[in-house]
Amino acid sequence: MSSDLPNASSSSISQSHDVDVIVPLDAVGEVPAVRKIGLDDLGYALKNGIDDFLAMPTHAVFLGVIYAVVGLLLARIAFGGNLFALLYPIATGFALIGPFAAIGLYELSRRREAGLDTHWLHVFDVRHSPSFKSILILGAALLAMFVLWIALAQGIFIEHFGREYNATFSQFVNDALNTSRGHQMIVAGNLVGLAFAIVAMAVSVVAFPLLLDRNVGVAAAVATSIKAVLRNPVAMMAWGLIVAGLLLLGVIPLLMGLAVILPILGHSTWHLYRRLVEADTRERPQFKPRSRPPRYAADFPASLFVRSSVAPPDAE
């Protein structure tokens, strides 16, 4: 399909490398228009996501490793025991929190698309966004869904194998694939996980990039995301299968493959958003950080409590 995205090489963009702000300052009341897309647009998003990953590999892998390691640690601390029983739920659960975890990757893709500096520190620029609180609220909701999913997955495992089940990884795989209780666990777990994944994708696939790109609230962002899914059911179902398949590949070995898969999906989601939602053609305002007065050692500790500088008296 043809794209009417704004020209990334325009002089107005290239001249604001250090002052580009994330979103327009004026709040947007209307729900953005959503496009009809096809399967070729999914290929476009993945191709550009891989290009972004290859162009910005160091910080992308760094962020991906953090997500993978944190997921392992959280599961270990929360549930203990044999961690391999939760590898599959954790991997699929990343589809729930991935849109929020990738918020910094969206910003890097946005900056690269606009021809701006893509230093990894720009992943923290989201804090300047007027939609920052909305991003945190929606992120907290997805995190709660992730925790609930892991708890339910643990409960399904215990229901079929018992709390005292202790086996090697190969024994567990054999029991899961070759016994009736294993088959029942797989069916129940996948049905529950599918329900979680559908809800999470519907409310977030467009919401986070939109919150990053524009000054909208949680309700407008979620409504736009659901609208995009309902208008493109086949394409979004295919996208969900792509995400699920890549996340499964990321499980090997010990979730470390997610260090590559998560950044690629994060960058790709930004480009998918650009295909799904009509672009905002308004000029982006400049972000001007507040100037901070110099602090001197002689003023310690009083300088720690100075919140604003006092302007010097006017010269006579």
Sign of torsion, CA 205 211 216 217? positive
Q: Is it the case that residue 299 has pLDDT exceeding 60?
A: no
SS3 95: helix
| Residue 168 token pair | 């090697």
Q: Is it the case that residue 290 has pLDDT exceeding 60?
A: no
Per the listing, tokens 């893709």 go with 109
Nearest to 255 by CA among 57, 61, 69: 69
Nearest to 138 by CA among 32, 248, 219: 219
Q: Averaged over 212-219, what is the pLDDT?
A: 86
**C-beta of residue 130 within 8 angstroms of C-beta of residue 215:** yes
Banded pLDDT at 125 (limits 50, 70, 90): confident
Q: Averaged over 93-103, what is the pLDDT?
A: 85
| Residue 217 token pair | 């609230």
Residue 16 main-chain phi, psi, to 5 deg = -125, 45
pLDDT of residue 68: 64
H runs (alpha helix) in 28-168: 39-55, 57-79, 87-101, 103-113, 132-161
- Dihedral angle of Cα 280, 208, 23, 17, to the nearest 10 degrees: -100
Per the listing, tokens 């407008």 go with 220
pLDDT of residue 311: 40
Distance CA 12, CA 115 (A): 11
Q: Tell me the per-residue pLDDT of 230-269, one tens digit each, with 9 for 90 and over.
A: 999 999 999 999 998 888 787 776 667 777 888 899 999 9
How many angstroms separate the first and last alpha carbons of the chain?
66
Q: Tell me the per-residue pLDDT of 31-52, one tens digit each, with 9 for 90 and over.
A: 788 999 999 999 999 999 999 9
**C-beta of residue 87 within 8 angstroms of C-beta of residue 290:** no
Banded pLDDT at 61 (limits 50, 70, 90): low
| Residue 311 token pair | 């302007």
Q: Averaged over 114-131, what is the pLDDT?
A: 81
- Dihedral angle of Cα 261, 264, 267, 273, to the nearest 10 degrees: -80
pLDDT of residue 11: 39
Distance CA 252, CA 97 (A): 19
pLDDT of residue 206: 93
**Extents of the domains making up the chain:** 28-289
Q: Is it the case that residue 112 has pLDDT exceeding 50?
A: yes
Element (H, E) at 260: helix 258-276
Chain-centre distance for alpha carbon 95: 9
Per the listing, tokens 């476009």 go with 44
**Which of the given ranges, 53-67, 76-90, 186-200, 238-252, has the highest pLDDT on average?**
186-200
pLDDT of residue 306: 46
pLDDT of residue 12: 39
pLDDT of residue 259: 79
Q: What percent of the chain has pLDDT over 90?
A: 36
Distance CA 200, CA 240 (A): 10
Q: Averaged over 57-62, what is the pLDDT?
A: 64
- More confident: 68 or 13: 68
Residue 257 main-chain phi, psi, to 5 deg = -65, -20
> Could you give the angle at which helices 39-55 and 57-79 cross, rounded to 10 degrees?
100
pLDDT of residue 75: 59
Distance CA 200, CA 179 (A): 31
Average pLDDT, whole number, for the chain?
78
